[in-house]
Amino acid sequence: MNKIYQILFFLLVSAAAFAGNPDRQGEAGANQLLINPWARSAGLHESNTSGTSGVEAMYLNVAGLSRISNTQIQGAHTRYIADININAFGLARKIGKGGAFGVNLVALDLGDIPITTEDVPEGSGATFSPSYFNMGLSYSHLFTNKVSVGITFKVVNESISNAGARAFALDGGVQYVTGPNDNFKFGISLRNVGSKMRFTGEGLSKGRPNPGSTFIYNNTYYERSAAFELPSQLNIGASYDWLLGKTNRLTAIANFTSNAFSRDQLGAGLELSVRKMFALRVGYKHELDAVDIESTLDNGLSGGFSLTLPFKKDSDSRLGLDYAYRQTRIFNGIHTLGIRIDL
């Protein structure tokens, strides 16, 4: 148990180095790492750091990965802003006594973008499509159903045909459950701590005339791009369950998010679960000390629901359908639809 508290202490100390700082806003890149592709946690506006579990935990708090029965397969599709689509797939599997392994892949579809040049500023009719994807490998361990810890190793990629940037990152998290019916939960997660990214490739080269007077030919010059940080983030959350009979539950959730390169955020939510078959969620996220024009895109209200049905009566194998909506300052909101299979 002392090792658990050492990990918890490490996360809290590390948070001091990544405390929120609005003066550094805009200095980080790879902000797709902060877009939640999963419906259940999106319906609560990423406030469920303390109670997230299974595949979705690999995004918000990997410590919850081990809180599954056996195997979970999950996929999700998010209709983001400006015709951007996000697809996610994840697999979680129990291994050994208390352990769980998971893998997830998140990819952005930015559509076809017209190619423009100095000579053809209106476009030649050709297009290109950037590749944005993140892949993570996770491990979590549950100790006597009270404390779980986890870690994720991630690969981050942004590229086009002739240039790209890559980075490696780590996530870590802790969840603690207590109370007479395990109804109080506490969680901490530290996300996106890793190497800097820098774009390289033939796309950064340029042919320029040779400055000499003897021969006339072009030299190829390579421009060196500036490196940028990943959007590191600390989440601290708590929740409390009110048991309404044997199979119904109402959960109140609160969360504090400290962003290393933007303003801090407060979140809260409610989740009502009925007979472990239907769940209704509502959440709210507020960015501290930010006026509308400076705040991030998806502050405000969120909501969602889940419908979960067993494959057959009294079976632990279930099929679930999840939906979430997040309000945005501009555009028409963010919609996420997901499907789960628990085996």
pLDDT of 1 higher than 60: no
Lowest mean pLDDT among 33-37, 202-206, 302-306, 318-322: 202-206
pLDDT tens by residue, 28-46: 888 999 999 999 999 999 9
Q: Rounded distance, CA 264 to CA 77, Å?
A: 27
How many angstroms separate the CA atoms of 208 and 169, rounded? Answer: 38
Percent residues over pLDDT 70 in the chain: 89
Which of 10-24, 60-74, 278-292 is most confident? 60-74
| Mean model confidence pLDDT for the chain | 88
Rounded to whole angstroms, what are the CA distances from 28 to 92, 108, 110?
Answer: 30, 18, 20
Domain boundaries, the chain: 2-114+128-199+231-342
What's the pLDDT band for 329 if we cut at 50, 70, 90? confident
What DSSP string describes 264-295?
Answer: -EEEEEEEEEETTTEEEEEEEEEETT--TTTS
Kindly report the number of other CB atoms within 10 A of residue 131's CB atom: 15
* 314 CB-near residues (< 8 Å, 6+ apart): none
In 26-60, which positions are buried (b, 16+ CB within 10 angstroms) versus exposed (e)? eebbbebbbbbbbbbbbbbbbbbbbbbbbbbbbbb
The per-residue pLDDT for range 121-176, each reduced to its tens digit, is: 888 888 888 999 999 999 999 987 789 999 999 999 999 888 999 999 999 999 99
- Give the pLDDT band (50/70/90) at residue 12: low
- Closest Cα partner for 233 from 217, 212, 255? 255
Flag whether pLDDT at 293 surpasses 70.
no
Name the CATH code of domain 2-114+128-199+231-342 (choices 2.40.160.60, 1.10.3720.10, 1.10.10.10, 3.20.20.220): 2.40.160.60
Look at the pTM and tell me if it is higher than 0.85.
Answer: yes
Of 25-39, 207-221, 264-278, the least confident: 207-221
